[in-house]
Amino acid sequence: MKFNKKIKITLTIFVMIALLSTGFLYMKNKNIEEIPYTLFLSHVEKDLVEEVELSNSEKFKVILKNGSVFITDNPRKESFKEELLLNNIKVIEKDETISQTIPMLFTIFIMGFLLFHISRNMSKQAAREMSQMSKIDTENNSKRLTFSDVAGNEEAKEALMDLVDFMKNPEVYNKLGARLPRGVLLYGPPGTGKTLLAKAMAGEAGVPFFPVSGSDFVQVYAGLGASRIRELFKKAKEVGKSVIFIDEIDCLGKKRQGNNFAGSEEGDRTLNALLTEMSGFNDNDGIIVVAATNRIDILDEALLRPGRFDRQIEVNLPDVNGRYKILKLHSENKPISKDVDLRKLALDTVYFSGAKLESLMNEAAILAAKEKSNEITSDHISKAYYTVLVGDEKKDRSTINLRDKEITAYHEAGHALVTKLVAKENRVSKVSIIPSTKGMGGFSINLPPDKMYQSKKDILSNIMIALGGRAAEEIIFGKDFVTTGASSDLEKATEMTLSMIALLGMDEEVGLVNYKVVGNRNLDNKLVLDRAKEILDKLYLETKKLLMDNIESLKILANNLIEKEVLSEEEINHLISIEI
């Protein structure tokens, strides 16, 4: 803005001066009548001319004896002055060149000044852009963040803590031949504190933080993205130990899809520059690149290979405990009324990200300030709650949330309980109803020490585990109220069933024929499909029966999930052991 204004002023001045000086020159001759050269010659012949003002310019001035003044064309021939003198005409030589060059010089000067100014401002602009992209902002560093500014996210913090130690004491690791990881990928929904974590990591390590966004690198001129990357790393190398943070890395490193648009080629070039830079620095440089994305599934695998972003840390939406901690953290500097129950608020804010919780407390504070209240009351918070939700989606999430929560809880409890019932040796390491980037819910199982082979029994159990979610939904909510939540489960179950019978020869009726080999030769596909349906239906009935027989366990698990949102392995085992 400032820069535009300056240019405008300079331009105006320049134009005014130019107008004035040309105007002046013009005016000088303007009121004087011009006569043809031939007429001038006849005046000379008639001895009417008193005086001539000669210069190098196009015209010259003639003063007649009767006092009238003319201008006429200057013949500019060498003997002209002599001829005039011979005709008894007074000749005054005027060096008009000077009076002409002055405005010209002036113009050149102004033009130069202007060009210099513009170009300087343009490079300034570029520099500013560059520095905006990778600011080692003192602003940023003025308040150094630490992990205490990040509430919840314990697992991510722990993983990053290790890296901080790496950066602080590289000798310890180097001695043992350990290599400092170069890249860490934080992935998870927006607003869950990925940027915050990266900043805190730099803060903990006491090193500069260079934040950029992948989207800064797209839609720039050919080659500029790549050179910006190189510039960024150069800067980081200059300061030594540092954290480079690349937000929205998916903008840079989308899976290559084979189509060769110019744009994607440009993206590739930028991505390649990034990969080259990352493999280019020495372990001792102590530079760590932290990248963040909401979409790990669309990332180019090249980014995830060893020596690149080989550490991947999931940053999920907070569970009820995490939400409580975040709410507490963001209430610390605010006068909160005694009637506010943050624990209860944490319960009411399922699926809120850290950013949303922060914004909730902030909105509440704004409302309180508007009302000139001394403290933030629960009334302000509930009003703010709706502001935050409305800004998000135009539906009343509070009621939907509860229902969603219940459905998800029973669904996930179904998976977990079936696991414990049909495959006791399987560990259920965690059950959660907070959606993760990997899919609905957060049910996760770990098979016991990796087996080389899976038996038919294992596959059948796994199919039942996959069907457990839908089965629980049907038992609790009724046939007509089952949800789309099971879609990927059914995909998995169908796939397992089909490979069991059509590829692995594990079904007596279909036999040992491998249908991959048969391929398109159109053998008896109907037989396979019918068998698959039969098997799935039968297993589904079995799964439902299993859950009905253990309905109390299912309810206990689900209710605990609704309350706590996440259950650990011990909690699950404990809850189930009461009943089984």
Give the footprint of Zn ion on this chain (CB under 5 A).
469, 489
What DSSP string describes 115-156? HHHHHHHHHHHHHHHHHHHT---HHHHHS---GGGS-S-HHH
What 3-state DSSP class applies to 157? Answer: helix
Number of H helices, E strands in the chain: 22, 13
Rule CB under 6 A: which of 316-355 touch ligand ADP?
326, 329, 354-355
Token pair 């809880």 is at which residue? 409
Size of the site for ligand ADP (CB under 6 A): 17
**Among this protein's residues, is 53 annotated catalytic?**
no
Considering beta carbons, is residue 153 or 560 the nearer one to ligand ADP? 153
Q: Find which of Zn ion, ligand ADP, none residue 489 binds, CB within 5 to 8 Å per kind.
A: Zn ion
CB 414 within 8 A of CB 471: yes
Considering beta carbons, is residue 249 or 467 the nearer one to ligand ADP? 249
How far is 5 from 174, CA to CA, in rounded Å?
Answer: 55
What the block records as the tokens of 238 is: 């200059």
Considering beta carbons, is residue 89 or 434 the nearer one to Zn ion? 434
Q: Find which of Zn ion, ligand ADP, none residue 196 binds, CB within 5 to 8 Å per kind.
A: ligand ADP
Q: Smallest distance, Å, CB 356 to ligand ADP?
A: 8
Decide if residue 153 touches ligand ADP (CB under 6 A). Answer: yes
Q: Find which of ligand ADP, Zn ion, none residue 195 binds, CB within 5 to 8 Å per kind.
A: ligand ADP
Q: Smallest distance, Å, CB 133 to ligand ADP?
A: 17
Decide if residue 293 touches ligand ADP (CB under 6 A). Answer: no
Considering beta carbons, is residue 14 or 477 the nearer one to Zn ion? 477
Tell me the window of 186-194, 254-262, 374-382, 494-502 that interacts with ligand ADP (CB under 6 A).
186-194
Residue of 36, 190, 335, 511 that binds ligand ADP (CB under 6 A): 190
Token pair 């009621």 is at which residue? 399
Residue of 181, 183, 193, 469 that binds ligand ADP (CB under 6 A): 193
What DSSP string describes 306-343? TTSS-EEEE-PPP-HHHHHHHHHHTTTTS-B-TT--HH
Token pair 């929205």 is at which residue? 248
Q: Find which of Zn ion, ligand ADP, none residue 267 binds, CB within 5 to 8 Å per kind.
A: none
How far is 38 from 56, CA to CA, in rounded Å?
Answer: 19
Decide if residue 195 touches ligand ADP (CB under 6 A). Answer: yes
Token pair 């852009």 is at which residue? 129
Q: Smallest distance, Å, CB 145 to ligand ADP?
A: 9
Considering beta carbons, is residue 5 or 143 the nearer one to ligand ADP? 143
Considering beta carbons, is residue 27 or 298 the nearer one to ligand ADP? 298
Q: Smallest distance, Å, CB 562 to ligand ADP?
A: 23
Q: What burial letters (b/e) apply to 145-157, b meaning 16+ CB within 10 Å?
A: bebeebbbbeebb
Residue of 55, 72, 134, 192 that binds ligand ADP (CB under 6 A): 192
Considering beta carbons, is residue 489 or 507 the nearer one to Zn ion? 489
Residue of minimal Cβ distance to ligand ADP? 354
**Options 277, 412, 474, 565, the catalytic residue:** 412
The vertex-285 CA angle with 281 and 286, nearest 5°, equals: 115
What 3-state DSSP class applies to 568? Answer: strand
The vertex-459 CA angle with 458 and 463, nearest 5°, equals: 120
Q: Find which of ligand ADP, Zn ion, none residue 469 binds, CB within 5 to 8 Å per kind.
A: Zn ion
Q: What DSSP element (H or E) covers 355?
A: helix 354-370
CB 331 within 8 A of CB 361: yes
Site residues, ligand ADP (CB under 6 A): 150-153, 190-196, 292, 326, 329, 354-355, 358
Residues belonging to the active site = 412
